[in-house]
A and B are shown apart, each in its own frame.
Chain A
């Protein structure tokens, strides 16, 4: 029975997943355990994506299904004991760029792993990033970029974090199709990738090492 839910997610059966989650949580099952099964399903989806068996469409669809499951569990989770988040991540696509498909995938994959993610959206002003970092004190800050127009604002945000004395307290990541190792140098980031899973693995490694 427990296998069914994660399998249904891996097979991208949206309705089956929603149905199963709803009926089980209403019967009084622990919402945290149900969420954990969904997470296992997502991990398998991630692996298949890495292997090339699943493509972008499947990854996006699984993210939608997972979000749907979380929405159903939300009211129950609030009451139950929620485990402490593994870590906190602030994500944003900075001013000049409005692409967020990749960033949204990363946000979901991070949440699946148990991170608390604050997604600031797109075309975000550097000052807004700094404010959020001050407010939430995350371990990670991630900038997503697809086009070069975002480079100056990413650099500005990195500088502002330094000036505010926050840069040393976080790990700065840049990711997305518009980034390269040179961009990492230019912005002074700690990590760069064009692969969503890669970014998640990095976060897990850093947290694990703490």
Chain B
């Protein structure tokens, strides 16, 4: 029996025949519902309000994760609720992953272009009965005669397009050459060679259309990584890939299709086509790298976490299913270790590691935070499981940096609170930078004590019905649902920042560097751009370092990918940098516990 699901506020209507879970229906309708636990009913973030004549009974998971008043009000978890009759589903913004601030801007890196290829316009003498030379040899002769290039060759993919290009262009052909290999041939006129650099993140893909001869970014676009359907975190995706070859294949295809879709959009907007993409550079964390290449991931997912390769790869882009010029190569720089990927390498490249003797610290904060320290001719790197607290997960009213999220908090000495909300409207929740500010301010005004405990009796500190101490940031009234921070939220942030600080302190101890020795701190990633460094120091996320030495470098991974795309020199630098970096496995570091204990605690005044 067919029925209709109407989604609000988007107004999208979906016609269905079979019973379907709301989360599957949302996916089909193109609505990006949060699915942090991969649809297993454990994260509680896919909350929707359902109106329907018949609804299935509330499941155990929903009893756990929703309050009685929510359930009374028809709020359900999309992944746990199957419908088979007409229904209207309201999807609130905090339950979606649409509209997070996708970071595209990166370091304005000065790229000395050194392209891996060149474009040459050739006039080729047409064949005749007295000159029956083959198409390829014809071109090869012109290249030898006019440009001194010997032993020219082309792959079958390119050969398929050669005869057409020659004849369509009336024997004028623009050839793209990589050393002596023809990687593309276009009829008639030449156009500026372009390429694609992409940072394949766990959550977001950032793609850049780059002018190869100058290294200039022509256009950029970001999108959500559709693999999120298999789970927000990397381990869920690796598990899906390990357990079922069909899933592994789907996971690989999903990300390739997303890259193709974005690059196609970027090209079309410039009057180009994907076939004009002559060179590709892709960076990503090691898991993303392996999933993209369709490499086995079992060894990566379980101890001792070993990748299939830590060498850079260069091969035909079409092998991955990417839509590019027929003979274009994709360069995938080396991952550094099991959990530190080529995205981190790209960050180091963009941040100037290996360029000089300055003592540098680079931090890319995400669900996993990669940290690198350069000192005394050594570079060490580590990965810490900071968890998604700074991205809004595990925080009761946490959300991503999207409209409605509190992003800045200021608390006066009398404990009155002022919040800054993204988009300027009502506060729906709080994002990473907001909660970092809140905790720093709460500590400064004595609302939390030196152990991070909420102090009963301080203004704004209440006890919830279930006994949980909370601090009210925004009062609830008829327009606003109110936003509060619970003791548990504070603990989650302390754990997250503890993990990150521990990683930093261990690297510093390993290279015998103290905070005041550090010349430059580079914060990469979206969170790095929006966090307040002063507050980061106040809660102990960063050590005491003069503020003028701390810089946000945006999507440095994307910047590094662009550098490698535009310059063969940068690729060589990256390869040598990868060899220089020593990966430190924190779990086996002696006295880890001692560092961790110190890292979790709030700094003493």
Contact = CB atoms under 8 A, between A and B. Distances in A.
Interface of A: 52-58, 60-61, 64, 96-98, 101, 104, 123, 147-149
B452 interface: yes
B480 interface: no
B10 to A, nearest CB: 35
B478 interface: no
Interface of B is mostly: helix
Contacts of A148: 239
24 contacts: A52-B469, A52-B487, A54-B451, A55-B451, A55-B453, A55-B491, A55-B494, A56-B491, A56-B494, A57-B451, A57-B597, A58-B451, A60-B593, A60-B600, A64-B594, A64-B597, A96-B302, A96-B303, A98-B303, A98-B587, A101-B593, A101-B596, A147-B235, A148-B239
B301 interface: yes
Interface string B579-605: 000000001000001101100110000
Nearest to B468: A52
Given A57-B601, A60-B596, A97-B303, 18 more contacts: A52-B453, A54-B451, A55-B452, A55-B453, A55-B494, A56-B494, A56-B495, A57-B498, A57-B597, A61-B597, A64-B597, A96-B302, A101-B593, A101-B596, A123-B303, A147-B235, A148-B239, A149-B301
Nearest to B592: A101
B304 to A, nearest CB: 8
Contacts of A54: 451
A61 to B, nearest CB: 5
Nearest to A123: B303
A55 B497 CA distance: 14
Contact of B302 (A64, A101, A104, A149): A149
A55 B235 CA distance: 28
Interface residues of B, number: 21
Nearest to B487: A52
A64 B498 CA distance: 17
A101 B593 CA distance: 8
Contacts of B235: 147
Interface in B486-529: 487, 491, 494-495, 498
Contacts of A96: 302-303
Nearest to A56: B600
A54 B487 CA distance: 12
Contacts of B587: 98
Given A60-B593, A123-B303, A53 B600 contact: no
A58 B598 CA distance: 10
A104 B301 contact: no
A164 to B, nearest CB: 26
Contact of B593 (A52, A58, A64, A98): A64
Nearest to A63: B593
B453 A53 contact: yes
Among A53, A60, A96, A101, the one with the most B-chain Cβ atoms within 10 Å of its Cβ is A60
Given A64-B593, A104-B593, A53 B303 contact: no
A175 B452 CA distance: 26
B559 to A, nearest CB: 34
B583 to A, nearest CB: 16
A123 B585 CA distance: 15
Nearest to B495: A56
A53 B469 CA distance: 11
Contacts of A55: 451-453, 491, 494, 600
A60 B594 CA distance: 8
A196 to B, nearest CB: 15
A148 B302 CA distance: 10
Contacts of B597: 57, 60-61, 64
